[in-house]
A and B are shown apart, each in its own frame.
Chain A
Amino acid sequence: MPPNPSVATLRARFGASVGRSAVILGDTIVFAAADQAHEIFTWLRDDAGERYDYLVDVTAVEYRDRELPLEVVYQLRSLPRNVDLRVKIELRKDAELVVDSVVDLWPGANWLEREVYDMFGVRFRGHPDLRRLLMWETYDEGYPLRKDFPLRGRFSRSEQVRRALAADLRAHYSLEELSIAEAYAALPADVRARLAAERGRETAGEGLG
Chain B
Amino acid sequence: MAEQRVLELALATPGVDAAGRPVRIPLTVESPGAGEPDLRTDHMLINIGPQHPATHGVLRLVVELDGEVVVRVIPHIGYLHSGFEKLGEYRQYNQIIPLTDRTDYLSAPANNVAFALAAEKLMGIEITERCKVLRVIACELSRIISHLVWAGTTAIDIGAFTVFLWMFEQRERVYNLIEAWTGARLTTSLTRIGGLMADVPDGWTERLREWCRAFPKTLEEVDRMLLRNGIWLGRTQDVGVMTAAEAIAYSLSGPMLRASGVAFDVRKDQPYLGYETYDFEVPVGQHGDVYDRYLVRMEEMRQSVRILLQALDRLPDGPINASDPRVILPSKRKAMSNMESMIYHFKQVMEGVPAPAGEVYFPVENPKGELGTYLVSDGTAKPVRWRIRPPSFLNIAALPKMAEGHLLSDLIAINASVDIVMGEIDR
Contacts and interface: CB of A to CB of B under 8 A. Distances in A.
Interface of A: 24-25, 27, 29, 53-57, 59, 61-65, 73, 75, 79, 82, 84, 86, 106-112, 119, 133-136, 144-145, 149, 151, 174, 176-177, 180-181, 183
Nearest to A73: B374
Interface string B233-271: 000000000000000111110000000001010000110
A64 B357 CA distance: 12
B80 to A, nearest CB: 9
A56 B389 contact: yes
A174 B62 CA distance: 10
Interface string B60-80: 001010000000101001100
Contact of B270 (A29, A82, A177): A82
A109 B398 CA distance: 11
Given A24-B358, A108-B398, A176-B74, A57 B249 contact: no
B79 to A, nearest CB: 9
B122 to A, nearest CB: 7
A56 B329 CA distance: 35
B250 A107 contact: yes
Give chain B's interface residue range (CB within 8 Å of chain A): 35 or more
Contacts of B384: 61-64
Interface string B333-369: 0000000000000000000000000111101000000
B358 A25 contact: yes
Contacts of A53: 248-249
- For the complex of A and B, list the 10 residue pairs with the smallest distance between their C-beta atoms, beginning with the closest: A108-B251, A134-B78, A111-B397, A181-B45, A57-B389, A108-B250, A134-B81, A61-B385, A59-B387, A24-B358
A69 B427 CA distance: 26
Interface in B120-135: 121-122
A102 to B, nearest CB: 11
Contacts of B81: 134-135
Contact of A177 (B45, B262, B398): B45
19 contacts: A25-B122, A54-B248, A56-B389, A57-B372, A57-B387, A59-B385, A64-B378, A73-B374, A84-B270, A106-B249, A107-B401, A108-B394, A111-B393, A133-B77, A134-B427, A144-B83, A145-B86, A151-B86, A183-B45
Interface of B: 43, 45, 62, 64, 72, 74, 77-78, 81, 83, 85-87, 90, 121-122, 248-252, 262, 264, 269-270, 358-361, 363, 370, 372, 374, 376, 378, 384-385, 387, 389, 393-394, 397-398, 401, 426-427
Given A25-B358, A107-B249, 11 more contacts: A59-B389, A62-B385, A63-B378, A75-B361, A75-B374, A108-B251, A108-B398, A110-B397, A111-B393, A134-B78, A174-B74
Given A82-B269, A106-B251, A134-B78, A57 B397 contact: no
Contacts of A109: 251
A111 B394 contact: yes
A73 B359 CA distance: 12
A69 B106 CA distance: 37
Nearest to B270: A82
A79 B393 CA distance: 20
Given A25-B360, A111-B393, A180 B43 contact: yes
A177 B122 contact: no
Contacts of B87: 151
A56 B397 contact: no
B12 to A, nearest CB: 27
Contacts of A135: 78, 81
Nearest to A115: B393
A177 B62 contact: yes
Contacts of B394: 108, 111-112
Given A79-B264, A82-B270, A135-B78, A54 B251 contact: yes
A25 B121 contact: yes
A180 B45 contact: yes
B370 A56 contact: yes
B427 to A, nearest CB: 8
A73 to B, nearest CB: 7
Nearest to B251: A108
Contacts of B252: 108
B64 A180 contact: yes
A75 B378 CA distance: 20
Contacts of B74: 174, 176-177
Contacts of B372: 56-57, 75
A107 B360 CA distance: 25
A107 to B, nearest CB: 5
A75 B361 CA distance: 9
B387 A79 contact: no
Contacts of A27: 359-361
Contacts of B83: 144
B378 A65 contact: yes
Contacts of A180: 43, 45, 64, 72
Contact of A56 (B64, B363, B393): B363
Nearest to B263: A79
Contacts of A149: 86
Contacts of A174: 74
Contacts of A133: 77-78
B374 A79 contact: no
A65 B426 CA distance: 28
A108 B72 contact: no
A151 B90 contact: yes
A73 B426 CA distance: 20
A24 B45 CA distance: 50
A112 B372 CA distance: 14
A59 B374 contact: yes
